[in-house]
Structure 1
């Protein structure tokens, strides 16, 4: 596959889930997932071109399943990926939040149900509301 095709596929994932993009492009989900996590850091939105987002999604992902993990911060409204950081420990998440490229913290952070994530967000951004994402809440039922 050409790099232009890979970049196009990654761009499609900003507004759609990886599975539907993989099916549409007839590529393996694991291949698209690998492209996404390799190319996403290079395709981050530049803070100087945008205002600080009101809401941010914070999620962990596998760079290499079972071995290497990362955390990303994404604008909840535009889908811009602001930050991709390796690691998922509380200290690594705290460092990622402290490197936030804007002066003001977001008003809302949407994350999964991991207690460590929510607690760390509250420690770093004391006035930010933390909300559990609906995908993880629905899985409880």
Structure 2
């Protein structure tokens, strides 16, 4: 899919998250990283997980921009998103955006972590967008 328009949505802004269902774009990127103050990270994870599970996007993509490896919060982001769901996220989470990627090893490490948390729940694995 060609991504012509990507809508970045702060993960801690529930009103903005709900509004995405009515807007036109190719991909919504729910941001857990720079747009969210440290004290709002946990709340943002809850809002984003709920959006991934419940919002209807009719073919538009749902992507989560996680915190980078250097923050020490990336693993917690993924654990919350994947383990916090009862049936997994099969087909509802399209991609993970990895900020501040320094090498291919960062992407491979993320891929292994995704496999660890999804534990066979999902038939479709989210793609990874590595930002440098």
| TMscore range, shorter length | 0.3 to 0.5
TM-score between both structures, scaled by the size of structure 1: 0.38
Pick the structure with more strand per residue. Answer: 1
Task: Give 1 or 2 for the bigger CA radius of gyration.
Answer: 1
